[in-house]
Amino acid sequence: MVCLFYNILAIVAAMYSLFDVNYFVRLLFTTLWRRIIPRKKKRFSEDIRTYGFCTTNDVDFFMTHMNNARFLRELDFSRIDFYHRTGLYEGVVSRKATVLQGATTVRYRKPLPIFAFYQVTTRLVYCDDKAIYLEHKFITLSDNFVRAIAISKQNITGLEVTVSELISIVDPESLQLEAPEDLKHWLEYINASSEKLKKSD
Ligand SMILES: *[C@@H]1O[C@H](CO)[C@@H](O)[C@H](O)[C@H]1NC(C)=O
Ligand SMILES: *[C@@H]1O[C@H](CO)[C@@H](O)[C@H](O)[C@H]1NC(C)=O
């Protein structure tokens, strides 16, 4: 019995040293949770909210606030929830399409303190023929302050329709979205960056 216990402990320790186990557990949990307890479908015009707590796993060298990389990691879970809650998940999976993160930008406004509860809101702000653009806000629950704001570009490939068409199939009442001013600049940046690399290749 004791021997079995040590074996299991050794396997768990090995898994933790080789994989980011918490990441996979949470991905699985987030997905299963949505399968087991389906909630009312969200429109693309609505915010999708997920919640988090800044733990000792999330902090940086100073041990007082969330490190920069954790914000991006957190967005993986928010995006999964976005796909499930809006029905875009079925839309993509049923067409055997592939989703890849094409670009992300984060603007850190104020540190997110250790042991703080926060909310991440995700909303579709724009789509073109090849990608969707999501805006995410990290908001601390104690003061409702937007600690960080991020935009993600999600490339969706392998569809027979354009990404904009897919969006209107999944939510027929969704409106044609006009790119917000800040996003327009970011799109220009992406083009310029892409051109620069093409020249240097
Ligand atoms: C995402 O799509 C853009 C074109 O829309 C392309 O330049 C970029 O390489 C793609 N990124 C990935 C990771 O597929
Ligand atoms: C980026 O370049 C593509 C063509 O490569 C063009 O269709 C698009 O309008 C450009 N977007 C911006 C914001 O400049």
Q: What is the pLDDT of residue 64?
A: 93
Q: Using CA positions, which residue lies closest to atom 12 of ligand 2?
A: 188
Q: Using CA positions, which residue lies closest to atom 3 of ligand 1?
A: 102
Spatial distance between the Cα atoms of 69 and 100, rounded to a whole number of angstroms: 18
In short, whether 188's Cβ falls inside 6 Å of ligand 2 is yes
Q: Using CA positions, which residue lies closest to atom 1 of ligand 2?
A: 191
The residue count of the chain comes to 201
AA letter at 147: R
* CA proximity to 93, closest of 30, 182, 50, 156: 156
168: left (phi over 0), alpha (psi -120 to 50) or beta: alpha
Positions of the chain with pLDDT under 50 = none
Determine phi and psi for 24, rounding to 5 degrees. Answer: -70, -40
Task: Quote the ligand 2 centre to 7 CA distance (angstroms).
Answer: 56
| Mean pLDDT, rounded, of the chain | 93
Ligand 1-lining residues (CB < 6 angstroms): 100, 102, 130-131, 155, 194
Task: Quote the ligand 2 centre to 187 CA distance (angstroms).
Answer: 7
Task: Quote the ligand 1 centre to 131 CA distance (angstroms).
Answer: 9
Domain 24-200 adopts which CATH fold?
Thiol Ester Dehydrase; Chain A (3.10.129)
Asked whether the beta carbons of 187 and 194 are under 8 A apart, the reply is no
Q: What is the pLDDT of residue 98?
A: 96
Spatial distance between the Cα atoms of 81 and 104, rounded to a whole number of angstroms: 18
Q: Using CA positions, which residue lies closest to atom 12 of ligand 1?
A: 102
CA dihedral 45, 46, 50, 51 (to 10 degrees): 130
**Alpha carbon of 96 to those of 99, 102, 128, 152: distances in Å?**
10, 18, 19, 21
The pTM (predicted TM-score) of the whole model is: 0.90
Q: What is the pLDDT of residue 115?
A: 96
Domain ranges in the chain are 24-200
Q: Using CA positions, which residue lies closest to atom 14 of ligand 2?
A: 188
Task: Quote the ligand 1 centre to 194 CA distance (angstroms).
Answer: 9
**CB neighbours (10 Å) of residue 79?**
22
In short, whether 191's Cβ falls inside 6 Å of ligand 2 is yes
Task: Quote the ligand 1 centre to 155 CA distance (angstroms).
Answer: 6
Spatial distance between the Cα atoms of 85 and 141, rounded to a whole number of angstroms: 22
